Structures are given as C-alpha cells and as structure tokens.
Amino acid sequence: MLPGSIQISGESLSGAEIRDICESLRENSVRLLSLRGCQLSERDFGHVCRGVAESRSLAQLNLNLGIVSNINRVKQLAEALKTNRSVQSLFLHGSPLTDAGLALLNPALSIHPSLVALDLGDCMLGDEGINLICGLLPPDGAKSGLKELTLSANPGITSKGWGRLAIAVAHSSQLRVLNLDYNPLGDQVAGMLAVAVASSRTLEVLDLEGTGLTNQSAQTLLDMVENYPTALRTLILAENNISPELQQQISDLLSEGEEEEETEAHEVTAREKNPWICQNNSSSQMVLMTSGLGDSLLAETEM
C-alpha cells in the first residue's frame, strides 16, 4: 500500500472501523482512501463524508463499485467536496449516479480547486451527463480542468453526446487521458474523436477498447496519426473488429513519434548542460517532456 493509504475492498465495515478511518482523515494522515465495493450504513457513509470534508491531506478518493448507491449519498458527497480542497482524483466507477445524480454532484466538481482526475465509468450516464462533464474541460488555461477522464461503459450516451464531448476535447487545454472503453461508439463517433485528437494539444492517451470499431475507424485514425502532429502517445484499440496489420501500423507511427520526441528532449538537455553550443536553426523549437500526470496524482488502476 502507498504511505498514508487506507485500502479496503468488498468488506462490511463496522462502526468502529469507520471511526478509525474518520479519525485518520481528521488527523491529515491519509493520502489515499479506497473503500471499493464495501458495505456501510447510511450513517457511517455520512461520517466518512464529513471526514473527507475536514481532511487537508486526502489526494485520492476511491468509492468504486456501488458505494455511492443513492441520491442521499450523492448529496452528502457533494457537500464534502464543496469543503474539501485537497482531493485530486475521484473514482466513482460502478456507481448508479445517472444524470440526475451527476447534476447534484457537478457544482462541487466545477469549483473544486484540485481535482484533475475523474472516473465516472459505468455510472448510467446519458447525454445530459455529458453536457455537465464538458463543463469540466475548459477551453483555456484561465480555469483549472480535468487532466484524466474515464467514461467507460456508459451505453446510454448517444452519438450526439459523444459528439459534444469530442468538441470539448478538441478545445480542452488540459485533458491528457481519455478512457472511453466498452461504449458502443462505432465508426461515426470514432471519426469525430479522430478530429478531436488532431485538434487537441494535450491528449496523450485514448482508450477505445471494445467500442465497436472496424477497419474504417482504424484507417481514419491511421490517417490522423500519419498526417497531423498530435500529442497522442497511446491509442488502445483491442477487442474491436480491426485487422492486426492496421493496429500495428498505428502503433508503429506512435512509437516513431515518441522516439523523435525523446531525441529532441535529449538535444534540449544537452543544450541546457552546454549553453555555449550554438543553434544553427533559429526557428527550431524546444520540446518539454513529461512522464505522466505528475507526482501529485497517486496511481491506482483497480476498478
């Protein structure tokens, strides 16, 4: 486990265990709290939310797999997030939020000063939910926005909703990771996403696993990767009706792009270490390399 972490899966939590968790939150000794798939009473859930509200150390909150199981719990979580200032990653995968629940949660998400990663996979969302989520992807750097967004397995979202998201992604100044796996997107939506990726200056990872794509989508994505300079480094296309050859071509092109960026990064480092080296081409650009979402974002991949 990570230092300062509480990770419990699939257990029925007693009142005494909840009190210990809340005390640790109030003492600011917890950075990661994960209660995925656990059972706790309405009263105890309220206690946990109050602990989250008071914590100044909590960076990642995982309430996956049905913890936020009703509207009352959504309201309590929203109140906690209005007060909390430290949470950077919020995981609600497998919660029956629906658009109505997200509407209650959205005001707190919109004003939260630290939130950069949000998992709303398998949350029974529709197009109204997408409209709210797009508001968390601001088009300029004046307002903080999400860097990582997961919307896996939300089949109630239509092509119109995905089109709205594609527009937001194209103009987002901060989004770097987008997980849309196991949604029935199809080739039409994949085409809209290809345009979004070509327009985005920041998107590095796009997960389209199991989204009903064919070679038509793969060819569009291949053309995009081949002809447009993008930030994209990882494109996941597994479990689609796409030929291995096309998948390999896309992978090779993305790998070539990474190698070119690494070469430029090494050249930048060399110039920084040897400032007396002259640059023959005055129009050349430096490339700033990053290795992820930063140390501030704690890693947790479990669903």
Q: Please give, one letter per residue, the 3-state secondary structure of 144-164.
A: CCCCEEECCCCCCCCHHHHHH
State residue 67's pLDDT score: 96
Structurally, the chain folds into a number of domains equal to 2
pLDDT tens digits, one per residue of 202-258: 999 999 999 999 999 999 999 999 999 999 999 999 999 999 999 999 999 999 856
The average confidence (pLDDT) of the chain is 87
Asked, for residue 216, whether it belongs to a domain, the answer is yes
| Banded pLDDT at 117 (limits 50, 70, 90) | very high
Predicted confidence (pLDDT) at residue 299 exceeds the cutoff of 80 = no
Predicted confidence (pLDDT) at residue 303 exceeds the cutoff of 90 = no
Quote the percentage of the chain above a pLDDT of 70. 83
Indicate if 151 and 93 belong to the same structural domain: no
DSSP state of 99: H
Indicate if 109 and 186 belong to the same structural domain: no
Indicate if 160 and 90 belong to the same structural domain: no
Indicate if 132 and 213 belong to the same structural domain: yes
Indicate if 39 and 73 belong to the same structural domain: yes
Q: Who has greater pLDDT, 245 or 261?
A: 245
| Banded pLDDT at 261 (limits 50, 70, 90) | low
CB contact set of 57 (below 8 Å; sequence gap of 6+): 4, 28, 29, 30, 31, 86
Indicate if 112 and 134 belong to the same structural domain: no
Indicate if 96 and 169 belong to the same structural domain: no
Indicate if 101 and 168 belong to the same structural domain: no
Q: What is the value of pTM for the model shown? A: 0.85
Indicate if 138 and 101 belong to the same structural domain: no
Indicate if 135 and 55 belong to the same structural domain: no
pLDDT tens digits, one per residue of 89-114: 999 999 999 999 999 999 999 999 99
Predicted confidence (pLDDT) at residue 267 exceeds the cutoff of 90 = no
What's the mean pLDDT in 126-132?
98
Domain's final residue, options 74, 98, 124: 124
Inter-residue contact 145 to 117 (CB < 8 Å):
no
Predicted confidence (pLDDT) at residue 285 exceeds the cutoff of 80 = no
Domain's final residue, options 102, 124, 146: 124
Asked, for residue 161, whether it belongs to a domain, the answer is yes
Q: Sign of dihedral through CA atoms 65, 234, 258, 288?
A: negative
Domain's final residue, options 78, 98, 124: 124
Asked, for residue 281, whether it belongs to a domain, the answer is no
What's the mean pLDDT in 130-158?
92
What's the mean pLDDT in 148-156?
98
Backbone angles phi, psi at 147, to 5 degrees: -105, -25
Asked, for residue 119, whether it belongs to a domain, the answer is yes
Indicate if 89 and 161 belong to the same structural domain: no
Q: How far does Cα 68 stand from its chain's mean position?
A: 19
State residue 140's pLDDT score: 73
Buried/exposed 217-243: b ≥16 CB within 10 Å, e otherwise: bbbbbbebbeeeebebeebbbeebebe
Q: Who has greater pLDDT, 194 or 275?
A: 194
Indicate if 76 and 158 belong to the same structural domain: no
pLDDT tens digits, one per residue of 63-76: 999 999 999 999 99
Asked, for residue 162, whether it belongs to a domain, the answer is yes
CATH of the domain at 204: 3.80.10.10
The residue range of the domain holding 48 is: 1-124
